Structure 1
Amino acid sequence: MGFNGKFSRLFKRPRGLTRIDFKRSEVDFTSAANQAIGGAGLVARAVLCGGGILAVVMLVYGLFEILKDRFIYSNPDFAIRKVDVHVKGYLSPELVLKWSGVSTGENIFRVDLAAIRRNLEFVPQIKQVTVERVLPNTIRISVEEREPIARILVPIASSNSIRADQVWIDEDGIVFTRLDRNNEHVHARLQSLPVIIGISPTETIAGYALQAPEARAAIEIIKWLQRSTVVVFDQLRILDVGTPGAVVAQMASGAEVVFGLDRVPQQVRRLREVYELGRRLGRQLMWVDLSVTNNLPVSWLPLEGEYSPVNTKNLEKTTPSLRKNA
C-alpha cells in the first residue's frame, strides 16, 4: 500500500458516524423560525385583543362613574333633608344628632353609616345604635341609652378638701356619666339608686366594665334583689365592696347584710326567708351573715324592754326552711 492509501485511511470517516445533511438542517431551521414567527404573531394578536377588551371595560366603567355621579351623588333629590332620631332613654335627640356628625344637605349615599355608628358608640352612656338610610332623603338613627342600676361615689381631691363625684353603672358593670342632670325627674330617680362604695377610683373609667370580684358580686346582688320579693320588706341603699371577699349591704331599715361573692341567687333567697321569718316572729332584722355556709347568724332588733339584740347563732337548727341548700 502506497503513501496515498495510508493517507486516505488516516482521514477515513469512522464507522457509526453520520454525515451531516446541511440542506436538510437548513430546511428544519427555516421551518422552526417560521413557527416561532407565527407564535409571536398569535401572542401579538392576543395582546391586542386583550388590550381592546380592557379599553372597552375602562370606557364602560368611566361612563358608569360619570352617570353615577350625575344621577346619584350629585342628584339634589338625594340630599339629606331630615335626620330622624329615636332615643330609648332620657338623652335629648339634639345631643345625639350633634354626636353623630350628620348634617342636612349632604348626599345620602356619601354618608358613612358605620362612621356615624362608631361616633355614637364612643359615648359611654349609649348602649346600642342603629343607623339606616330611608330613601330618598332621610337618615334614621335609633339609640338605646344605658339603664343605670347603681351609683358609685368617686372621691376627688381638691386644693382644700376631698369631695365625691358620681358615676353610674348598668347591669353589665359599664361605667358612665350622666349628661341629663338638669332633668328633675331623672335626677330624682337616679338619686334613689343604691350606692356602691369602696371602689378604687382607677376602676371607674367611663366606657369600661368594673373588674374587681367584689364589684362584680355587688352588681349580681343588685340584679337579684330587684327580681326578689325582698323589696317588699326592705330597700337596698348601700353596698360596701371595700372588704376583700365580701360585700356588705346596708338596707333602708338600717339592717346590715353580709354577702359572699359566690352563689348570689341562693343568698338572696335565704335573705328573703329571713325577712319572712321576722314578719312571722314580729321582729325586725338588724344583721345577718349570708356568707356563712354551715349556719345562718342572725341578729334582730331588741323589742321594747330588751337590753340587747336577739342573737340567733344556730337559726337553721330550729328553722329548716332557712337551710342554704333547701
Structure 2
Amino acid sequence: MGFNGKLSRLFKRPRSLARIDFKRSEVDFTSAANQAIGGAGLVARAVLCGVGILAVVMLVYGLFEILKDRFIYSNPDFAIRKVDVHVKGYLSPELVLKWSGVSTGENIFRVDLAAIRRNLEFVPQIKQVTVERVLPNTIRISVEEREPIARILVPVASSNSIRADQVWIDENGIVFTRLDRNNEHVHARLQSLPVIIGISPTETIAGYALQGPEARAAIEIIKWLQRSTVVVFDQLRILDVGTPGAVVAQMASGAEVVFGLDRVPQQVRRLREVYELGRRLGRQLMWVDLSVTNNLPVSWLPLEGEYSPVNTKNLEKTTPSSRKNA
C-alpha cells in the first residue's frame, strides 16, 4: 500500500460514528416542544381546578359560619337559664357559682368549660371539679371538697402579740383554708380533728403539700389510725413534728406516744395491742415508744398506792439517738 493509501485510510470516517439525521432531530425537537406545552396546560388546568375547589370550600365554610351563628350562637333557645351546682362537702352552691364565673343569659356553646374548671381548681379547698353542658340551656358543675384530716396551728404576728391561725390538710397533705366557718356543725367537727404542731409557717402554703419527713409521717399515722380503730383515733389530739426523726403524739388521756418515721402500719398495730393489753390489765397508758423495734418501752399510770409507773419492758424513756441504738 502506497503513501496515499495510508493517508486516506488514516482520515477515513470511523464506522462507529453514526451519520447525523438532521430531519429526524428536527422532528424529535418538535415533539418534545409539543409535550412541554401540553404539560404546561395540564398544570394550568390543575391550578385552576384547585383554585375553584378552594373557592367552593371557602364559600361553604362562610355559609356554615353564618348558619352556625344564626341557629346556634344567636339562638335564644341555647341561652343559659340554669346553672346546676352539686357540692360534695359543705361549700355553698352560691359560693361555687360565684367562683365559676358563669352567668345566665350567656350562650351555652360560647362558655369555656375548661376555664370554668380552672377557676374552681384554683381554690385550694376544692379537690375535684367536673363541668358539662346539658342541652339546651343548663350548665352542670360538680365539686368535691377536700376532706380535712388534721389542723395545723400557724403562728401569726399581730401588732401587740403573736396568735395562732388554723389551716387544714387532707389525706395527701395538701394545705387549705376553710371558708365555711360560720357553719356551727362543720366548725365543731373541724375543731375535733387532731392538731399538728412544729411545722414552719413557710411550709403551710395553701394549695401545696407538706414536704417534711416528720410531717409526712404524721399524715400517715393519722390515716392508719383512722383505718385501725375508732377508739384509738378518737384519743388522738396532738402530733408534734418538731423533733427530727420522730413524731410525738399526745392522746386525750394525757398519754404520750412516740412514733418513728418508718413502718407506720406496724407501729399502729403495736399501739392497738398496747391499748388492748391495758384494757385487759385495767391499766391506763402513760407513755410508749413505738419506734424501738427490738422491744417495746411502755409505762402505765400508777394505781393508787403505787409510787412509780409500772413498765412492762423498759422504765427508761428513750431519746431519738438512743432509739437508733436500741
Contact 1:80–1:107 (8 Å) recurs in 2: yes
Cα distance in 2, alignment partners of residues 50 and 225 from structure 1: 73
How far did residue 185 of structure 1 move? 1.4
Q: CA deviation at 1:267?
A: 1.1
C-alpha offsets along residues 161-201 of structure 1, whole Å, 9 cap, x if unaligned? Answer: 22211100011111000111111111111111100001111
Q: Displacement of 1:4 after TM fit?
A: 14
Q: Which moved more, 1:159-168 or 1:253-262?
A: 159-168
Q: 1:279 to 1:158 in 2, by over 3 A?
A: same
Task: Determine the C-alpha separation between the residues in 2 that align with 1:319 and 1:125.
Answer: 38
Residues 10/82 of structure 1: CA separation in 2 closer, same or farther (3 Å cut):
same
Q: How far off its partner does 1:15 sit? A: 6.0
Indicate how the Cα distance of structure 1 residues 312 and 2 shifts in structure 2: closer, same or farther if over 3 A, else same: closer
Asked whether the 8 Å contact 2:87–2:145 carries over to 1, the reply is: yes
Whether the 8 Å contact between 1:174 and 1:207 is mirrored in structure 2 is yes
Shift of 1:96: 0.5
Q: Which runs of 5+ in 2 are unaligned?
A: none
3-state DSSP of counterpart to 1:220:
helix
TM-score of the aligned structures, taking structure 2 as reference length: 0.90
C-alpha change, 1:206 and 1:232, in structure 2 (3 Å) is: closer
**C-alpha distance in 2, partners of 1:318/1:153?**
27
Q: Any conservation in 1 of the 2:218–2:239 contact (CA below 8 Å)? A: yes
Give RMSD over aligned pairs: 4.5
Q: Residue 173 of structure 1 contacts residue 219 of structure 1 at CA under 8 Å; is this kept in 2?
A: yes
Q: Give the Å deviation of 1:6.
A: 13
User: How far off its partner does 1:312 sit?
Assistant: 2.6
The 1:291/1:223 distance shift into structure 2, 3 A limit, reads same
Structure 1 residue 39: Cα displacement? 0.9
CA contact (8 A) 1:316 1:322 kept: no
Q: Distance in 1 between matches of 2:94 and 2:170?
A: 23
**Greater displacement, 4-13 / 74-83:** 4-13
Change (3 A) 1:319 1:78: closer
Q: CA deviation at 1:314?
A: 4.9
Distance 1:9 1:258, change over 3 A: closer
Q: State the identity as a percent.
A: 98
Decide which moves more: 6-15 or 70-79.
6-15
SS of residue matched to 1:132? strand
1:11-55 superposed Cα distances (whole Å, 9 cap, x missing partner):
986665444333222221111111110111111111112221221
Q: How far apart, CA to CA, are the structure 1 residues paired with 2:178 and 2:25?
A: 95
Question: What CA distance in whole angstroms lies between the structure 1 residues aligned with 2:319 and 2:206?
Answer: 46
Which moved further from structure 2: 231-240 or 87-96?
Answer: 231-240
The residue matched to 2:106 in structure 1 has which SS?
coil
Rounded Cα–Cα distance in structure 1 between residues aligned with 2:211 and 2:318: 39
Deviation at 1:232, TM superposition (A): 5.8
Pair 1:304–1:9, CA change in 2 (3 A): closer
Contact kept in structure 2, 1:270 and 1:322, CA below 8 Å: no
For residue 10 of structure 1, report the CA deviation from its aligned partner: 11
Contact 1:152-1:197 at 8 Å conserved across structures: yes
| Residues 236 and 250, structure 1, Cα contact 8 Å, conserved in 2 | yes
Asked whether the 8 Å contact 2:297–2:317 carries over to 1, the reply is no
Residues in 2 aligned to 1:2 and 1:295: alpha-carbon distance in whole angstroms: 130
Judge which range, 1-10 or 117-126, deviates more.
Answer: 1-10
Q: Residues 233 and 306 (structure 1 numbering): CA distance in 2 closer, same or farther, change over 3 Å?
A: farther
Q: How many residues align?
A: 326
Larger mean Cα displacement after TM superposition, 15-24 or 51-60: 15-24
Mapped partners of 1:250, 1:207: distance in 2: 28
Any idea what SS the aligned residue of 1:317 has?
coil
Kindly provide the CA deviation profile for residues 225-272 of structure 1, in whole angstroms up to 9, marking residues without a partner as x: 112236269610000011111110000000000011111111111111
1:59-99 C-alpha deviation (Å, 9 max, x unpaired) = 11111111111101110100001101111111111110111
Q: Secondary structure at the match of 1:143?
A: strand
